[in-house]
Amino acid sequence: MPGQKPIKVALLGCGTVGTEVVRLLTDHAADLTARVGAPVELAGIAVRRPNKHREVPAELLTTDAQALVSSPDVDVVVEVIGGIEPTRTLLLQALRAGKSVVTANKALLAEHSGELFEAADGTGADLYFEAAVAGAIPLIRPLRESLAGDRITRVMGIVNGTTNFILSGMDSTGASYGETLEEATRLGYAEADPTADVDGFDAASKAAILASLAFHTRVTAADVHREGIAQVSAADIAAAKGLGRTVKLLAICERVTENGSESVSVRVHPAMIPRTHPLAGVNGAFNAVFVEADAAGEMMFYGKGAGGAPTASAVLGDLVAVARNRVVSGRGPRESAYAALPVRPMGQTPTRYHISLDVADRPGVLSQVAAVFAEHDVSIAAVRQEGRVDDASLVIVTHAATDAALRSTVDKIGGLPVVREVVSVMRVEGEES
Amino acid sequence: MPGQKPIKVALLGCGTVGTEVVRLLTDHAADLTARVGAPVELAGIAVRRPNKHREVPAELLTTDAQALVSSPDVDVVVEVIGGIEPTRTLLLQALRAGKSVVTANKALLAEHSGELFEAADGTGADLYFEAAVAGAIPLIRPLRESLAGDRITRVMGIVNGTTNFILSGMDSTGASYGETLEEATRLGYAEADPTADVDGFDAASKAAILASLAFHTRVTAADVHREGIAQVSAADIAAAKGLGRTVKLLAICERVTENGSESVSVRVHPAMIPRTHPLAGVNGAFNAVFVEADAAGEMMFYGKGAGGAPTASAVLGDLVAVARNRVVSGRGPRESAYAALPVRPMGQTPTRYHISLDVADRPGVLSQVAAVFAEHDVSIAAVRQEGRVDDASLVIVTHAATDAALRSTVDKIGGLPVVREVVSVMRVEGEES
């Protein structure tokens, strides 16, 4: 091994994750050499402002990412910059030159994975991305490899820590979305511009990546139905609590079989789940993902979904894998998109709704409301009506119906004269339909 | 791909798991071809009594496992026979001939992994074994690959479904071990001879495999301290309940650092864990494993630990991987035992005890008991004394001390005249020490 030619690594970006990658590469150098079968050495670190990175060796820093990536010395490119450009161009260049790529860039993968995989395929280079989804939790490798002999039917998880922190907070304090977001920002759990998290963009990118792997189909962020948490009200949370449920932002990837033909539904939206569901207990910044497969049954993966060290752990695991592949002249799994299943529009996706209404407390109200459900062919699973001084609370949980039918039902009910207010509308997941 | 030379598979054994492997290979043939990049075909199935296997194609059956394994046609050997011989000889023969091996055989791996890996290394063949631990739960691949850039400090899990079923049953009914084992046998959750499960042999084999991967050290079943569940009494379960805890049979692999030198502790024994611990909610035949690593933090993996289809799913995942490696002339990870850490004897392993005593209810009892702890340098974390008609119940939970010191303390306390009975002694895990 001391005689073995070192594997040279170009690191693109040196923020929270990059700094941890450098630290782990340095601290665990002897271990990594033994595990890879050759030394793993940094060839350079591309950053925008070298004088801001006093914690890494100055001689490795460069502002010329393009030159670093093109260097014939470099075997592997590790990318932790994020964003689409110039990252996309740099990684395509690396892959086309036969360099392996390890990336944590969910947004890039969710939009351009096809192009990146094709470039990798052209030269036989590896493209690994365990850190792109659910931080340190091994999830990509299990989906891409461990379950490669099975038929995955469903992947459902909490994959965004910021929104989970906010929803956990709203659940425990009863506070509004706005107040809780403010608190999360103050504590550093939400960014100054929280859009990517709270509007579900981050979770949608991850859902696209998970669906692509689970269903051997190229799914991009644009294919994902996306709803954020800004509309979740204290009333929604209270309604969930009253039913023994809690609200989570879920990324859901499902295989839907209808009349013998298969499609996939990929979506991100808040949903009520029973408090007894294993995902209900996942609080704060933790992530957890449920996977269901025909032969394997139900599995759950749980751990830290973000942060410098956990993300760097996932990056290093991939780096060891691609470096090992270099040493033995092997290669890891390629893109597997042969199934090319159609993506089902949200309107045609079967879901279940929980609807909470303020209605007039007089005879015939329930029959009027129930008639609207019947008219839309939506079957009711549970009803709870409670009288108050001069109105009543009516809570309805449906069986599964298409999302379009459920939406039309809610619209029409909202217009009924006997309905004073639609207090809360929320999808229901994690229980038998 | 239609032009690609098929990967030919020899299946050794056709019981519950083997039958499912054949079914998945047949049902998912087109998918597997696409995922591997070449067709995957059965070359033969070695069984003892061919006329007992009417559910698989008769022309594939043979009683001559040795001839099947030696056939130049065969690329991959999938072993689901179990036991040490003739399996060991057959797999060594396969690996030495350069054939890749996929096995679910925990007992064999826990005793002979060194020899098997050396044979694999000699020819560059793959040796995969995801199905050997925790059935369908991807655990081997995460430890062997995803966490290869991190430093794992602890692996703790429920890896035996039979004992978990029995302990869950005792916890919910209050029945004795004997009664619950009888029920488990009647329901098919325990075998007619339950020794391998209830005495912890099965869990110890799995602990040896997990510790080897986690600590890059060759650990065999003989290195594992093993205690089964036959001594767990209804009183132990009741004592745990009284403290908000539950009893589980745990496999624990720990990295212990003392005076700057590292060793590993690998053990299987019943232990009390808090009811709020995620492992406490793992009931019946499910398995779950907690992993802690320096950078990644805490992770949990949960799913079905046994059964034909889940185990076959794990076997198929490995089969796809080794077949893919054949197609691209690559190879998977080799044995990684470079760290060669010493295994710490149980007596020197730090643990915590819960001790429940029936004592005389008179002044000075607590001071006598406490003096024995002090004498052995064992620090007490919590004490609860409750008077009854003419005696008292004294419950003590210790801080961490060596297992040997704790055992001596218990022995000496049992001999004190004021102690009428040592009602329950159980290790405590899953909380801060």
Question: pLDDT digits over A282-314, tens only?
Answer: 988 799 999 999 999 999 999 998 889 999 999
Q: Phi and psi of B419, rounded to 5°?
A: -95, 115
Q: Which residues contact A150 (CB under 8 A, 6 or more apart)?
A: A293, A294, A295, A296, B24, B313, B316, B317
Q: Nearest by CB to B309, which of A295, A298, A314? A: A295
According to the model, what pLDDT value does residue B433 have?
57
Write phi, then psi, for B308 (nearest 5 degrees).
Answer: -60, -55
A281 Cα to chain B: minimum distance (Å): 9
Chosen from A4, A143, A145 to mutate, greatest number of chain B CBs within 10 A: A145
What residues in chain B have per-residue pLDDT under 50? 1-2
pLDDT reported for residue A1: 47
CA A131 to chain CA centroid, Å, is: 11
**Are the beta carbons of B189 and B248 closer than 8 angstroms?**
no
State whether CATH 3.30.465.10 applies to domain B7-135+308-327. Answer: no
Non-local (6+) Cβ contacts of B402 within 8 A are: B347, B348, B349, B350, B351
Residues A136-154, mean pLDDT to the nearest whole number? 95
B295/chain A closest Cα distance in angstroms: 5
The CATH architecture annotation of domain B145-304 reads 2-Layer Sandwich (3.30)
* pLDDT value at residue B254: 97
Q: Round the average pLDDT of chain A to a whole number and report it.
A: 94
* Model pLDDT for residues A193-250, shown as the tens digit of each residue: 999 999 999 999 999 999 999 999 999 999 999 999 999 999 999 999 988 999 999 9
Q: First vs last Cα of chain B: how many Å apart?
A: 57
Return the residue matching tokens 């977001």. A181
For domain A347-428, the CATH class is alpha beta
**How long a stretch of residues is chain A?**
433
Helices (H) and strands (E) in chain A, counts: 14, 18
* Total CB pairs under 8 A between chain A and B: 193
Q: What is the pLDDT of residues A314-339, one digit of tens each?
A: 999 999 999 999 998 888 888 999 99
Tokens matching residue A293: 């497969």
Structure ipTM over 0.90, yes or no: yes
All structural domains of chain B with their residue ranges: 7-135+308-327, 145-304, 346-428
Residue A349 tokens, joined: 């996706």
All residues of chain A having their beta carbon less than 8 Å from the beta carbon of residue B149 are 24, 28, 32, 35, 313, 315-320
Catalytically active residues of B, by annotation: 206
Please tell me whether the peptide bond between A278 and the residue prior to it is cis, using omega within 30 degrees of 0.
no
pLDDT by residue (tens digit) across A23-46? 999 999 999 999 999 999 999 999
- Residues on chain A touching B320 (C-beta within 8 angstroms): 145, 148-149
Cβ–Cβ below 8 Å for A295 and B315: no
- CB-CB under 8 Å, B35 with A148: yes
Catalytic residue among A8, A99, A206, A248: A206
Amino acid in the structure at residue B312: A
**Smallest Cα–Cα separation from A313: which of B147, B335, B77?**
B147
Closest CA of chain A from B388, distance in Å: 38
Side chain identity at B210, as an amino acid letter? L
**Is the Cβ pair B28, A149 closer than 8 Å?**
yes
B177-200 pLDDT, tens per residue? Answer: 999 999 999 998 999 999 999 999
Q: How many helices (H) and strands (E) does chain B have?
A: 14, 18
3-state class (DSSP) for residue A381: strand
Residue A15 annotated as lining a ligand binding site: yes
User: Nearest chain A Cα to B335, which residue?
Assistant: A35
pLDDT per residue as tens digits for the range A248-265:
999 999 999 988 899 999
Contact B138 A146 (CB under 8 A): yes
Check: CB of residue B163 under 8 Å from CB of residue B198: yes
Please tell me which of the candidates A299, A328, A331 has its beta carbon nearest to residue B303. A299
Per-residue model confidence as pLDDT tens digits over B278-311:
899 898 879 999 999 999 999 999 999 888 999 9
CA distances from B83 to A370, B70, B107 (A): 62, 20, 7
A87 φ, ψ to 5°? Answer: -55, -45
Write down the CATH superfamily of domain B346-428.
ACT domain (3.30.70.260)
Distance from CA of B181 to the nearest CA of A (A): 26
pLDDT at position B255: 97
- Residue A404 confidence (pLDDT) above 70: yes
Topology adopted by domain A140-304: Dihydrodipicolinate Reductase; domain 2 (3.30.360)
pLDDT value at A179 more than 60: yes
* Predicted pLDDT at B3: 62
Arithmetic mean of pLDDT, A401-426: 95
Q: Which amino acid is at A224?
A: V
Give the count of beta carbons closer than 10 Å to the beta carbon of residue A367. Answer: 8
Task: Please state, in angstroms and rounded to a whole number, the distance separating the CA atoms of residues A139 and A161.
Answer: 16
pLDDT of residue B234: 94
Question: Would you say A346 and A267 are in contact if contact means Cβ atoms under 8 Å apart?
Answer: yes
B414 φ/ψ sector (left φ>0, alpha ψ -120 to 50, else beta): alpha
- List of chain A residues whose C-beta atoms are within 8 Å of the C-beta of residue B300: 300-303
**Residue A433 has what pLDDT?**
58
Contacts of B313 in chain A (CB under 8 A): 147, 149-150, 293-296
